[in-house]
């Protein structure tokens, strides 16, 4: 039996089993009413029976059909091709050359000088004064406390049960099926192909070569030069120019108290301030100028020459072959078994345990705290400030002017020309072709099968099957 019809067979067997149960409960005379008296004898045990039912099965059938497929063919066609040729052509053109001419002129410039100026300024100096205060603080201590608590503990107890399981087995079945196999058969053909060879050809051409020449060029650049300087007195915080109180050398401090741990303390140091000025310096550089030189040279140019040859080409062609092969198919068969299953079950158990819990206890204390406070002190100091003073001067500047010169020159221009010619090529095209093949269709067939049913009769009460009597219910219960 085909495995696709298995759900239909099972459903039909279930319906017939319930229908036969309803009919047998009342005997051959039809349905009966309620029992007027109690049962005279106990119900008999159900016994296995079989019943024939009609089942629809689908069977495969092979038939010959026609279909249209697309196949690729090749043919030879002629087309117009073009070859590229380069032709030299002389051409005259006006060319402009630019020459740089130096020119000297006087230009007014503004120069700023840095002039030191002494001023009196009021500065604020902050001193650090330590202050002692009494403050109340809270300290928390951890005190362990023991308590009794009821906890629930679950234990896993294994339990064995019997269960009915279904096991499906795969049963192999061999069937002969016609198949079509295509084989690749090599075939040798003669074809005409074109081969292009590169042939070198020597030609005489006129070319322009540029010859580089080095020319000196003098320019003026501005340079910053130190012309002198002076010393200034500045006040800076202690520790700003060294690593300790014992500094020596150019930046040593003069006076002041740097030994105090508090403060920004100030000290006076001597700093050298240089003076700079701008001056013009001549610089000579060399520039490369290219001049054109025309000459005739021999050039080797490759040209493509076509040559036709006849070669043998191996082409693979597909040849159809029909065969009958044996195919093994697996069908699933249900088997029911009773197995013992061990299931873990959780059992609750309550216990009383002692638990130690840490609790935080607050304790207040009074402590002395030393806090640094900043006290402001104002002082008047002399500060040297650099101020910029504007000075106007006239300097000589050399600039270069560009002078254009135009003249006529002859150049060789290479033009590309396309020459048409007739060529042959192979073109592939697709055409529809009808072919016959073996197809499979499924035909429904009604067959008669025997299915197992459960039957039994409870005498005297109209009870059937398992002795349920007047209390059966469900979809197929009988009415009163």
pLDDT digits (tens, 9 = 90+) for 317-355: 888 888 888 888 888 888 888 888 888 888 888 888 888
* Residues 283 and 240: beta-carbon distance below 8 Å: no
Q: What are phi and psi of 460, to 5 degrees?
A: 95, -25
CA 45 to chain centroid, in Å, comes to: 71
Nearest-angstrom CA–CA distance, 456 and 359: 77
Residue 6 maps to a domain: no
Percentage of residues of the chain with pLDDT beyond 90: 0
Indicate whether 464 pLDDT > 80. no
Nearest-angstrom CA–CA distance, 121 and 383: 7
Q: What is the pTM of this model?
A: 0.20
Q: In DSSP terms, which residues pair with 98 in a beta bridge? A: 404
Strand pairing category for 266-455 and 457-458: unpaired
Nearest-angstrom CA–CA distance, 105 and 401: 12
* CB count in 10 Å sphere of residue 458: 20
Q: Which long-range contacts (CB under 8 A, 24 or more apart) does 239-243 make?
A: 241/269
The predicted pLDDT at position 454 comes to 63
Structure tokens at 163: 């269960």
**pLDDT tier, 38 (very low <50, low <70, confident <90, very high otherwise):** very low
Task: Give the chain's domain count.
Answer: 1
Residue 427 maps to a domain: yes
Q: In DSSP terms, which residues pair with 328 in a beta bridge? A: 174
Give whole-number Cα distances, 142 to 94, 376, 394, in Å. Answer: 104, 46, 89
Give whole-number Cα distances, 243 to 3, 41, 238, 250, in Å. Answer: 98, 122, 10, 14
Q: What share of the chain is helix, strand, coil (3-state, %, to 5)?
A: 5, 80, 15
Nearest-angstrom CA–CA distance, 64 and 437: 6
Residue 333 maps to a domain: yes
**Sign of the dihedral defined by the CA atoms of residues 357, 362, 367, 372, in that order:** positive
Buried b (16+ CB within 10 A) or exposed e, 358-388: eeeeeeeeeeeeeeeeeeeeeeeeeeeeeee
* Residues 287 and 239: beta-carbon distance below 8 Å: no
Nearest of 321, 411, 396, 457 to residue 109 by alpha carbon: 396
pLDDT digits (tens, 9 = 90+) for 170-204: 888 888 889 888 888 888 888 888 888 888 888 88
pLDDT digits (tens, 9 = 90+) for 285-307: 888 888 888 888 888 888 888 88
Residue 467 maps to a domain: no
Structure tokens at 35: 């029992």
**pLDDT tier, 463 (very low <50, low <70, confident <90, very high otherwise):** very low
Residue 112 maps to a domain: yes
Residue 480 maps to a domain: no
Please report where in the chains the tokens 């279909």 appear, as a residue: 67
Give me the domain span that covers residue 224: 47-455
Nearest-angstrom CA–CA distance, 237 and 239: 6
Residue 198 maps to a domain: yes
Indicate whether 280 pLDDT > 80. yes
Residue 423 maps to a domain: yes
**pLDDT tier, 471 (very low <50, low <70, confident <90, very high otherwise):** very low
Nearest-angstrom CA–CA distance, 419 and 86: 11
pLDDT digits (tens, 9 = 90+) for 199-245: 888 888 888 888 888 888 888 888 888 888 888 888 887 764 444 44
**Sign of the dihedral defined by the CA atoms of residues 236, 241, 246, 249, in that order:** negative
DSSP string, 304-351: EEEEEEEEEEEEEEEEEEEEEEEEEEEEEEEEEEEEEEEEEEEEEEEE
∠ CA 15-19-23, rounded to 5°: 170
The predicted pLDDT at position 157 comes to 85
């Amino acid at each position: 039996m085909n495995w696709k019809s298995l759900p239909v067979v099972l459903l039909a067997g279930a319906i017939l089993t319930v229908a036969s149960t309803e009919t047998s409960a009342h005997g051959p005379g039809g349905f009966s009413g309620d029992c007027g008296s109690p049962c005279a004898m106990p119900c008999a045990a159900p016994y296995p029976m079989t019943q024939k039912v009609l089942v629809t099965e689908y069977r495969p059938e092979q038939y010959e059909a026609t279909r249209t497929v697309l196949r690729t063919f090749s043919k030879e066609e002629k087309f117009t091709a073009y070859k590229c040729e380069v032709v030299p052509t002389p051409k005259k053109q006006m060319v402009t050359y630019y020459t740089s001419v130096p020119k000297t002129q006087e230009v007014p410039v503004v120069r700023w000088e840095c002039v030191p100026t002494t001023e009196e300024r009021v500065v604020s100096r902050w001193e650090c004064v330590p202050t002692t205060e009494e403050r109340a603080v809270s300290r928390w201590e951890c005190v362990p406390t023991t308590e009794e608590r009821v906890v629930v503990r679950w234990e896993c107890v294994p339990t064995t049960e019997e269960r009915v399981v279904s096991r499906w087995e795969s049963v192999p079945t061999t069937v002969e099926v016609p198949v079509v196999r295509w084989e690749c058969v090599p075939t040798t053909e003669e074809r005409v192909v074109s081969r292009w060879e590169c042939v070198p050809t020597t030609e005489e051409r006129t070319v322009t070569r540029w010859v580089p020449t080095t020319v000196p060029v003098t320019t003026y650049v501005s340079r910053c030069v130190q012309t002198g300087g002076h010393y200034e007195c500045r006040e800076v915080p202690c520790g700003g120019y060294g690593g300790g109180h014992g500094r020596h050398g150019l930046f040593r401090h003069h006076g002041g108290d740097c030994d105090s741990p508090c403060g920004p303390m100030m000290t006076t140091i001597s700093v050298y301030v240089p003076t700079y000025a701008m001056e013009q310096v001549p610089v000579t550089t060399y520039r490369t100028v290219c001049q054109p030189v025309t000459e005739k040279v021999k050039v080797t140019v490759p040209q493509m020459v076509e040559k036709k040859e006849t070669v043998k080409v191996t082409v693979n062609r597909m040849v159809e072959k029909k065969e009958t092969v044996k195919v093994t198919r697996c069908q699933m068969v249900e088997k029911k078994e009773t197995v013992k299953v061990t299931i873990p079950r959780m059992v609750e158990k309550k216990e009383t345990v002692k638990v130690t819990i840490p609790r935080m206890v607050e304790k207040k204390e009074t402590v002395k705290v030393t806090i640094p406070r900043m006290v402001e002190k104002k002082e008047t100091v002399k500060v040297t400030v650099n101020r910029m003073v504007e000075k106007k001067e006239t300097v000589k500047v050399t600039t270069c002017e560009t002078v254009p010169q135009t003249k006529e020159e002859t150049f060789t221009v290479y033009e590309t020309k396309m020459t048409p010619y007739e060529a042959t090529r192979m073109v592939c095209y697709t055409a529809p072709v009808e072919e016959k093949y073996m197809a499979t269709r499924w035909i429904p067939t009604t067959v008669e099968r025997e299915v197992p049913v459960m039957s039994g009769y409870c005498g005297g009460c109209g009870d059937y099957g398992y002795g349920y009597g007047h209390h059966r219910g469900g979809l197929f219960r009988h009415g009163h």
